[in-house]
Structure 1
Amino acid sequence: MSGRKGNNEGVDEGGREMLLLVKGAQQVVRVAGAGERVKLGASMGDLAIISATQHDGVSIAVQQDGKIAWVGPDSEVGAKFPGARWGRVVEACGRAVVPGLVDAHTHPVWAGDRVHEFALKVAGASYLEVHEAGGGINYTVEQTRAASEDHLLNLLLPRLTRMATAGTTLAECKSGYGLEVETELKMLRVLERARPLAPLTISSTFCGAHSVPKGLSAEAATRLVVEQQLPAVVEARDKGQVAVDSIDVFCESGVFNVAQTRTILEAGRRHGLRLNFHADELTPLAGAEMGASLGAEAMSHLEEISEEGVRAMAKAGSVAVLLPTTALVLRLPLPPARAMIQAGVPVALGSDFNPNAFCLSMPLVMHLACVMMRLSPNEALTAATLHAAHALGKAHQHGSIEPGKMADLVIIDAPRWDHLVYQLGGNDHVITHVIRAGKVIHERHN
């Protein structure tokens, strides 16, 4: 092959092999311009849309390495890629294309559902009341500790497939239902085994401080995380047995207090892990202020964040990962999303998929963010793509449709992209194709 390689302009001189061509789109919603990793304030609503003209659709060309080579008018494809041999051509047929969705907060590795708790919650039992009665996280810990690695993998893969079918192409996946070395490592190994099998990209987070094990004080649990669990995880990482990007702590009243959370996060930082933790969910503890002081890359929940916490996060550049499904299920106050955006905090979204909030659909999360938290549809899309990727430290590769980034794409069965968030549920009818790294991983067959 004589064509130039690595050319982001997509000019091809020799008819090289190309992985994919998506053509005939009515809208290509790039979300970000060249090099943008975060969009603050009003810019969050600017989606950098390329629209078709009366006579010309929009194309996306993808290289063999799965990265976007070029985005532009259908009429210019021949000149940009003369004689190119396309591995596959997808006819968008006047539809809209958005970046693959990014789920910035999930707990997908576990055994034993908690359907028996649903009636208790509906009857008014609080999260901590269920937890103190032996339910909640501790119940899932018992079931997950008893499950084999193979069983956990067989439970995980269908969940990831359902996420991908609803448009998710990158998901943060936490451990945290082990609370001791053996099971935490087992969960991380399951995520590692899932990487080549799953239809989406996985970012792993170590969450050994998800709860205080039965019979231990929070102080003793803190020592175990720092002195036993974390060193074992880091050793497995350094040996190439697992890949771990971040560390998480459930900073909450009755779980790990602010000082204990700081101790664990600082230990994770010393080992090169990103800080991405639960803060100010049920109780206003000033966890956000503490996280900002450490330069935490991301904090989740934040239903009880203070005005000082919002300002601290904006100053530190910490991403606020908001989880509307959890606020809905637990009947929590809503985080101040509008105040965060106005203050310059990067706002992202996650499903918080877990046995307590069983949601695998980011379009549903986006809809709830609009209805409950007053995000505009444009802001919700930025939050579920570019900013969610930024929360995971992956916005250089994911979260927008730009040359040089991975070709993670969702094709919407409508000429306007916002049908994805406008329609409540039924994503199997709204989405025609989900593409990850230039390969079609889901296609609707009429």
Structure 2
Amino acid sequence: MAGDHRLLLENARQVVLVCTRGERFLARDALRSLAVLEGASLVVGTDGFIKAIGPADAIKKQFSEETFEERIDCSGKCILPGLVDAHTHPVWAGDRVHEFAMKLAGATYMDIHQAGGGINFTVERTRQASEEELFSSLQQRLQCMMSAGTTLVECKSGYGLNLETELKMLRVIERARRELDIGISATYCGAHSVPKGKTATEAADDIINSHLPKLKELSRNGQIHVDNIDVFCEKGVFDLDSTRRILQAGKDMGLQINFHGDELHPMKAAEVRLTLCCSVVNTHAMESLRSLFKDRSGLLKR
């Protein structure tokens, strides 16, 4: 029988609130003074939202006449907000341990990539793996993340590059979303690299004319759920024009834009994002802006 509330976490030694004054987040020096309650309890409603946090005695008195589907004694324990991992590539097969020797010898990321290693090496192994093998390894990785406190994770495809394997990866992610007790935001990343034998323009055409229409069809039928689209906009991978075309096509079918840009070389990817997202409310932040901050910090001041 359902209770008035879903969960009571009671008598915790500490509850970490992080913010107490209506802030959406804390940054820089503010992180030195997180809000922490000592000897506290927390109530979660049937809708999954937190209904009350406060001193254990006060919560006990306030909810003395109400019932809970579950009660957990948290004596001696600390309750923390769940961690959000906003960039992961958790579906893959094989490993790239042998590339450490190349890196120690001075090879750069792009040196390895252009020699057929990196993403391309993993693509070959992932194409060969069965759907069950990929799910088994993904399950282990997500369980490890959950044990470390992650409650929401962004999961990308991107080690298929062809339609068949990209869909296989997205089905694996969808199965995990349905079966595992962790929040998942699924990202189509079929433009993670340019497939062998194709130019960036040809790969972009294939994604726009073949991959995305199939994703739209499967999403409409409820077979998969995809939230975001990602492109690796980088020198030697997808150029600005191809990136813009792919992201625009994804945006047109309702996907959030979340892409790798200016990670290794300044490519003016930030400007691409601004032109695509300036009219969109609550868009995801573009990832990997290390080179932008290093080489083009003036852009942020203009």
TM-score normalized with structure 1 length: 0.62
Residue 45 (1) aligns with residue 45 (2): no
Partner of 1:60: 42
Contact 2:17 2:37 in 1 (8 A): no
Q: Deviations over 1:264-291 (max 9, x none)?
A: 1111111111100001110011111221
- The residue type equivalent to 2:78 in the other structure is A
Structure 1 residue 24: deviation in Å? 2.4
Partner of 2:300: 310
Residue 123 (1) aligns with residue 105 (2): yes
- The residue type equivalent to 1:161 in the other structure is Q
Q: Deviations over 1:307-329 (max 9, x none)?
A: 144357xxxxxxxxxxxxxxxxx
Q: In the superposition, relative to structure 1, how do residues 276 and 47 fare at CA in structure 2: closer, same or farther (>3 Å)? A: farther
Partner of 1:104: 86
Structure with greater contact order relative to length (CA < 8 Å, sep ≥ 6): 1
Structure 1 residue 259: deviation in Å? 1.8
Residue 168 (1) aligns with residue 158 (2): no
Q: In the superposition, relative to structure 1, how do residues 148 and 35 fare at CA in structure 2: closer, same or farther (>3 Å)? A: farther
Contact 2:186 2:225 in 1 (8 A): yes
Q: In the superposition, relative to structure 1, how do residues 23 and 199 fare at CA in structure 2: closer, same or farther (>3 Å)? A: same
Q: Deviations over 1:201-239 (max 9, x none)?
A: 111001010000001111111111111111111111111
Partner of 2:226: 244
Structure 1 residue 106: deviation in Å? 0.2
Determine the C-alpha separation between the residues in 2 that align with 1:196 and 1:260: 33
Which segments of 5 or more consecutive residues in structure 1 lack a partner in the other structure?
2-14, 313-446
Structure 1 residue 199: deviation in Å? 3.1
Q: How does 1:45-444 map to 2 (within 5 A)?
A: 45=31, 49-52=35-38, 57-295=39-277, 297-305=284-292, 306-311=296-301
Partner of 1:29: 16
Contact 1:17 1:64 in 2 (8 A): yes
Contact 1:16 1:83 in 2 (8 A): no
Structure 1 residue 25: deviation in Å? 2.9
Determine the C-alpha separation between the residues in 1 that align with 2:218 and 2:21: 37
Determine the C-alpha separation between the residues in 2 that align with 1:72 and 1:218: 56
Contact 1:286 1:309 in 2 (8 A): no
Q: Deviations over 1:69-126 (max 9, x none)?
A: 2111111223321233334333333543221000000001111111221222233211
- The residue type equivalent to 1:188 in the other structure is L
Partner of 1:421: none
Q: In the superposition, relative to structure 1, how do residues 165 and 282 fare at CA in structure 2: closer, same or farther (>3 Å)? A: same
SS of corresponding position for 2:259: strand
- Moved >4 Å (runs of 4+): 33-36, 40-44
Which segments of 5 or more consecutive residues in structure 2 lack a partner in the other structure?
278-282
Structure 1 residue 39: deviation in Å? 3.5
SS of corresponding position for 1:88: strand
Q: In the superposition, relative to structure 1, how do residues 173 and 123 fare at CA in structure 2: closer, same or farther (>3 Å)? A: same
Determine the C-alpha separation between the residues in 1 that align with 2:158 and 2:103: 22
TM-score normalized with structure 2 length: 0.89
Q: In the superposition, relative to structure 1, how do residues 71 and 45 fare at CA in structure 2: closer, same or farther (>3 Å)? A: same
Contact 2:10 2:41 in 1 (8 A): yes
SS of corresponding position for 2:87: coil
Determine the C-alpha separation between the residues in 2 that align with 1:70 and 1:40: 21
* Alignment length (residue pairs): 294
Structure 1 residue 33: deviation in Å? 4.8
Determine the C-alpha separation between the residues in 2 that align with 1:174 and 1:249: 11
Contact 2:3 2:69 in 1 (8 A): no
SS of corresponding position for 1:70: strand
Q: Deviations over 1:316-373 (max 9, x none)?
A: xxxxxxxxxxxxxxxxxxxxxxxxxxxxxxxxxxxxxxxxxxxxxxxxxxxxxxxxxx
Determine the C-alpha separation between the residues in 2 that align with 1:113 and 1:120: 14
Contact 2:20 2:35 in 1 (8 A): no
Q: In the superposition, relative to structure 1, how do residues 247 and 308 fare at CA in structure 2: closer, same or farther (>3 Å)? A: farther
SS of corresponding position for 1:59: strand
Partner of 1:335: none
Contact 2:37 2:54 in 1 (8 A): no
Structure 1 residue 51: deviation in Å? 2.1
Contact 2:187 2:228 in 1 (8 A): yes
Q: What is the RMSD computed on CA atoms of the aligned residues?
A: 2.3
Determine the C-alpha separation between the residues in 2 that align with 1:46 and 1:294: 36
Contact 1:191 1:204 in 2 (8 A): yes
